């Protein structure tokens, strides 16, 4: 039996186990949406903007581990996906994005709503397809899902001209796919794994540096086993939070620009650094020449291009993190000294780390009348008992969430790590909620970030996605203000948001519930009330406008030299610089 291109697309998606599509219709994809009208196995979540659809797809993908699927029209619909594509590419998130295209005979003629999305998207996708013949469609879809979800995951785009969606052919979906030029390495080299085990056995001051690759590889159990087996403390990147329990005695928390002091000092003084699924991002390393300066480095990653790209490595191991860690744990268990011997070997190191934890814990001062943003995060953690999927946007609130909410499970903290996309958190929360309707999903945002995709409140209400939004409302683009205070002598150029809306009334205008806390003693009541509401809620917390995120490593500075508090006022109205002024050019 022959099917149209639209029907082939939907049948192929079902073969891939897709159950939810995030998207927005337009002229050239009306045939696909018409086919979806009678389709019961594929739920369509109609978003209010294509960028919102992209971040919802990412949220769905990050909590499930499956590819998120997005369907949009041509021209502006397609170009509106570019930020989401880049964000997913930077964060290694599996997405299959289907864009409509003008009919094949019109391509290149500047037709209405035509854009060369394949050309535009090439730098920000893992691969992009243009379907010219309906006979190729099923094979291309199979390859798209294979590429998106294997190796280092990423977004794949399929550009589908209108005439292809109406053309007919016999439908046969491939059972498997083989691409000659694309063969990700899964198993690590056995000799290198053994070298890594030897280094671990003799190290006196080792540190595990865990990134988002551990989350993507579902290697939660393996990294925990390695840490406990070898008694190695664990620090995590922003993307790696949740890959190892944040409340575990071996956890050092996050490292890097706003990382914990104990984590940054441990990495600086270690004699062995084991990087697992991490890419030595500049927000982690600070001044590269002074990052982990006197140690041997083992780097495990499935992407060979990530190894030695930013940092010298002594023992590179290319392979799937989960597979390599399984092999490494077996070698250690079968070959080397026992757990108690390793405990004794590293006792002085753990004592030093314990001392650092006592000397420089995370801290803030909660006053009687003004809400501190850290206090809100701590209350959210306390009242949810850590049992929530948390998303953030980008800025100060993102760092406070990373510092003060303890993530004990993988795939429970979603944020824009690589690209730093404001407007990401709320639609990502909706995608996560669509994947797991029964779970509690909280979006922590700022009054600047939330306004970049606030229109998706309509999606939340219509689709009954009961996400709880906690806005840390400081009336500023907070991180911009912090940098202007510290590095631009208090010149707050275009960072004050004097026209922000009344978020309670705005929530109500969309049909959601709006709540506000203006004093510290109102915070707990607002959170408890929000948690009891069955639908979406916007909580507006009016917080201290002048609070800054600490610790902080000035851009381009050494992680060892962190700043822990606001600089003291200086004479002649000339604030002190915290770093070489030229270094801010690298931010």
Give the active site residues: 50, 112-113, 162, 479
Nearest Cα to Cα of residue 277 among 236, 226, 311: 236
Contact 383, 405 (CB under 8 A): no
In 10 A of CB 85, how many CB atoms?
27
Nearest Cα to Cα of residue 219 among 323, 362, 103: 323
> How many whole angstroms separate alpha carbon 97 and alpha carbon 128?
9
Contact 323, 187 (CB under 8 A): yes
Strand 155-161: give its sheet, edge to edge. Answer: 43-46, 20-23, 68-72, 95-101, 155-161, 127-130
> How many whole angstroms separate alpha carbon 453 and alpha carbon 391?
14
- Both tokens of residue 73? 């029209």
> Which string of DSSP letters, residue by residue, matches 460-519?
HHHTT--PEEEEEE-SB-HHHHHHHHHHSTT--TT-B-TT---HHHHHHHHTSEEEEE-S
Query: What's the DSSP call for residue 134?
Result: G
Under DSSP, is residue 568 helix (H, G, I), strand (E, B) or coil? coil
Alpha carbon distances (Å) from 179 to 98, 196, 222: 21, 32, 30
Nearest Cα to Cα of residue 16 among 57, 63, 66: 66
Under DSSP, is residue 265 helix (H, G, I), strand (E, B) or coil? helix
- Tokens 């002190």 correspond to 576
> How many whole angstroms separate alpha carbon 259 and alpha carbon 421?
20
- Cα distance between the two ends of the chain: 58
Strand partners, 371: 543
Backbone angles phi, psi at 66, to 5 degrees: -90, 165
Torsion sign, CA atoms 190, 192, 197, 198: positive
Alpha carbon distances (Å) from 362 to 243, 252, 258, 260, 550: 21, 12, 10, 7, 8
Nearest Cα to Cα of residue 313 among 275, 287, 264, 282: 275
> 361-375 in b/e burial notation, b at 16+ Cβ within 10 A?
eeebeeeeebbbbbb
Contact 76, 49 (CB under 8 A): no
Length of the chain: 587
Contact 70, 117 (CB under 8 A): no
Residues 6+ apart with CB under 8 A from 421: 55, 83, 87, 393, 394
- Both tokens of residue 497? 């948001």
| Cis peptide preceding 254, ω within 30 of 0 | no
């Amino acid at each position: 039996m022959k099917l149209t291109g639209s029907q082939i697309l939907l049948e192929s998606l079902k073969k891939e186990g897709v159950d939810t599509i995030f998207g927005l219709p337009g002229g050239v994809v009306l045939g696909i949406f018409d086919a979806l009208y009678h389709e019961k196995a594929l739920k369509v979540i109609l978003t209010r903007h294509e960028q919102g659809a992209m971040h919802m797809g990412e949220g769905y993908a990050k909590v499930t581990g499956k590819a998120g699927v997005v369907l949009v029209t041509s021209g502006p619909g397609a170009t509106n996906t570019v930020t989401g594509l880049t964000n997913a590419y930077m964060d290694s998130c599996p997405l299959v994005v289907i864009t409509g295209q003008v009919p094949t005979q019109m391509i290149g003629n500047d037709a209405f709503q035509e854009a060369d999305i394949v050309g535009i998207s090439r730098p920000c996708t893992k691969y992009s397809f243009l379907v010219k013949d309906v006979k190729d469609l099923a094979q291309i879809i199979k390859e798209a899902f294979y590429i998106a979800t294997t190796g280092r995951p990423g977004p794949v785009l399929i550009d589908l001209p209108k005439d292809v969606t109406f053309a007919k052919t016999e439908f046969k979906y491939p059972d498997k796919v083989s691409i000659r030029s694309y063969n990700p390495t899964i198993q690590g080299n056995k000799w290198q794994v053994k070298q890594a085990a030897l280094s671990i056995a003799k190290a006196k001051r080792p540190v595990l540096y865990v990134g988002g690759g551990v989350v993507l590889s579902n290697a939660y159990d393996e990294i925990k086993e390695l840490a406990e087996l070898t008694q190695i403390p664990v620090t995590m990147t922003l993307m790696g939070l949740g890959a190892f329990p944040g409340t575990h005695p071996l956890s050092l928390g996050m490292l890097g620009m706003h990382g914990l002091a104990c984590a940054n000092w441990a990495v600086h003084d270690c004699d062995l650094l084991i990087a697992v699924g991490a890419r030595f991002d500049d927000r982690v390393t600070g001044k590269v020449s002074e990052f982990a300066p006197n140690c041997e480095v083992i780097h495990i990653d499935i992407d060979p291009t990530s190894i030695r790209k930013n940092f010298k490595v002594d023992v590179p191991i290319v392979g799937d993190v989960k597979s390599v860690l399984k092999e490494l744990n077996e070698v250690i268990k079968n070959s080397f000294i026992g757990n108690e011997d390793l405990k004794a070997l590293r006792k002085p190191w753990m004592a030093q780390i314990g001392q650092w934890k006592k000397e420089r814990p995370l801290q803030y001062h909660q006053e009687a009348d003004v809400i501190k943003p850290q206090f809100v995060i701590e209350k959210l953690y306390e009242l949810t008992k850590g049992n929530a999927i948390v998303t953030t946007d980008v800025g100060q609130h993102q760092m406070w969430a990373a510092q003060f909410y303890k993530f004990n499970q993988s795939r429970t903290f979603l944020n824009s790590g690589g690209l730093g996309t404001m407007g990401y958190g709320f639609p990502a929360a909706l995608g996560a909620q669509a994947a797991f309707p029964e779970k509690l999903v909280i979006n922590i945002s700022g009054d600047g970030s939330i306004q970049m995709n606030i229109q998706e409140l309509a999606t939340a209400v219509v689709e009954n996605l009961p996400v709880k939004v906690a806005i840390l409302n400081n009336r500023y683009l907070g991180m911009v203000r912090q940098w202007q205070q510290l590095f631009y002598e208090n010149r707050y150029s275009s960072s004050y948001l004097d026209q922000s809306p009344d978020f309670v009334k705005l929530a109500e205008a969309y049909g959601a519930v709006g709540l506000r806390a203006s004093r510290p003693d109102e915070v707990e009541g607002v959170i408890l009330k929000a948690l009891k509401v069955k639908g979406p809620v916007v909580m507006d917390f009016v917080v201290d406008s002048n609070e800054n995120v600490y610790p902080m490593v000035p851009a381009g500075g050494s992680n060892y030299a962190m700043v822990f508090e606001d600089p003291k006022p200086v004479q002649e109205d000339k604030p002190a610089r915290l770093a070489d002024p030229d270094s801010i050019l690298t931010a």
